[in-house]
Structure 1
Amino acid sequence: MMKILIVEDNRDIQALLTEVLTPTYQIASAFDGITGLKLATQEQPDLIILDLMLPNLTGESVLKTIRRSSTVPIIVLTAIQDKQKTVALLQAGANDYLTKPFDLDELVARIEVQLRAQPSQLPSNKLTFAEITLDLITHEIFVNNQPLTLPKKEFAMLVLLLRHPHQVFAKAQLYETVWGEPYRDAENTLNVHLSNLRVKINELAQQPQYIISIWGIGVRLV
């Protein structure tokens, strides 16, 4: 069953969309931008329905951040009637949009169109990069064929990096995606977790230095 992530802070709309779509799709829900961004990475949905007016992080910011690393179809819900604004959304990476109030049948039809346009992919529970293998179901990790055990946050960071190797993640982006909260006075917390993760991998790897820092920008897996 395909999965749809609904990022919408209006609980009535969330409930309505969930009720309509649940018979056909698996649903994940987020009520603010930061949680939406986090679930977009963790849940790996087949399609995202994204409201623009969100607390904590705007829909525009969520859209642009997702587009740095994913081509998942995104349908934007907006109360804005300005055509220039909607054109800008499409240019920023939205696949489609509907203005509120919207017709449910039309939304369902647009979802079907977007999902039909996507290439079919076989589901995989494992992420592999060079010497590192991670099982998303069992949470088993092997580096150079040796088992590695990680706490929750370090595991989540490694999943994110393995899903997008070579991509540079800003520290704020990495923190907000994994912790699901704003990056305020959290640099030390993030640096400690990154350092621990890097050391644990390097201790087992034949070719260490998988996680490198890009000065002034962020980190990436290479």
Structure 2
Amino acid sequence: MIKILTIDDDIHILNLLNIHLTEAGYAVLQAKNGMDALALLEKESCDAAVVDVMMPYLDGYALTKKIRQQYDIPIILLTAKDQIEDKERGFLSGTDDYLVKPFEPRELIFRLEALLRRYQKQTDDTIARLGTTTINKRSYEVQIDDRTFLLPLKEFELLYFLATHPMQVFSREQLIEQIWGLDYEGNERTVDVHVKRLRERFSKLTDDFELKTVRGVGYALEEKRG
């Protein structure tokens, strides 16, 4: 489920956002200020952020800059101000969109959906998602819930390739060609070794996927759907 982080020091706004975003099918996380939001982002993987401008400790502009430095997620700023200078400051801080209070919740959801579609298109070629597991080819990291794993290069490339072709069966020869290249002079059993290592790493950590052996053919990644 797509997770939206909402940050506002006004509990009424947080409640309003929670009601409408939940009804729209999103999971909602809440923070009452910028510092709490950054702490939450370190623990939870979020898909977008809705940020109020006027907050204690760390205002929305500063928070947006910090989020943008560390996370590649869409951000919508909420503000009571409608001056062009405020909008300019918001976009300079890195926000993707800007909504003035009081706002219509449906408009927020329309804008959020548009941003999520845009970001999804940008990340389709670099990120594979299997339940709570994210396989990021830009950073070569695998994230499961709040844990991050760095794999040896070929293990990562093998996992990423299978994850981006779920339920497709590949022979050892095909996997050698895709991961190690046509000029690879090693043994096809290299694939078996790497699959075994991946199973050992992840079989007890997640039920999101399973690396299946198809006898007489090769391997496939089966995505488990809850």
TM band (smaller chain): 0.5 to 0.7
- Residue-by-residue CA offset, 1:28-84 (whole Å, 9 max, x unaligned): 000111011122332221110000111221111111111112221000000111112
Q: 1: distance between equivalents of 2:134 and 2:104?
A: 39
Distance 1:21 1:82, change over 3 A: same
Partner of 2:73: 72
Runs of 5+ consecutive residues of structure 2 not aligned to the other structure: 153-226
Contact 2:44/2:145 (8 A) holds in 1: no
Q: Shift of the alpha carbon at 1:122? A: 2.7
* Aligned-partner SS, 1:45: coil
Partner of 1:16: 16
Provide the identity percentage: 31
Q: Shift of the alpha carbon at 1:142? A: 9.1
Aligned: 1:6 with 2:6: yes
Q: 1: distance between equivalents of 2:27 and 2:94?
A: 24
- Structure 1 length-normalised TM: 0.56
Instruction: Tell which has more relative contact order, 1 or 2 (C-alpha 8 A, sep 6+).
Output: 1
Aligned: 1:35 with 2:36: yes
Q: 2: distance between equivalents of 1:87 and 1:140?
A: 36
Q: 2: distance between equivalents of 1:140 and 1:44?
A: 11
Q: 1: distance between equivalents of 2:13 and 2:20?
A: 11
Distance 1:139 1:115, change over 3 A: closer
The equivalences for 1:1-222 within 5 A come to 1-23=1-23, 24-119=25-120, 120=124, 121-123=127-129, 125=133, 136-137=144-145
Contact 2:45/2:145 (8 A) holds in 1: no
From the CA coordinates, give the structure whose radius of gyration is larger.
2
- Residue-by-residue CA offset, 1:176-196 (whole Å, 9 max, x unaligned): xxxxxxxxxxxxxxxxxxxxx
Which amino acid counterpart does residue 49 of structure 1 have in structure 2? V
- Structure 2 length-normalised TM: 0.55
- Residue-by-residue CA offset, 1:89-130 (whole Å, 9 max, x unaligned): 1122100010111111111111111111112443364789xx
Which amino acid counterpart does residue 123 of structure 1 have in structure 2? R
Partner of 1:219: none
Q: 2: distance between equivalents of 1:118 and 1:141?
A: 23
Q: 2: distance between equivalents of 1:16 and 1:85?
A: 24
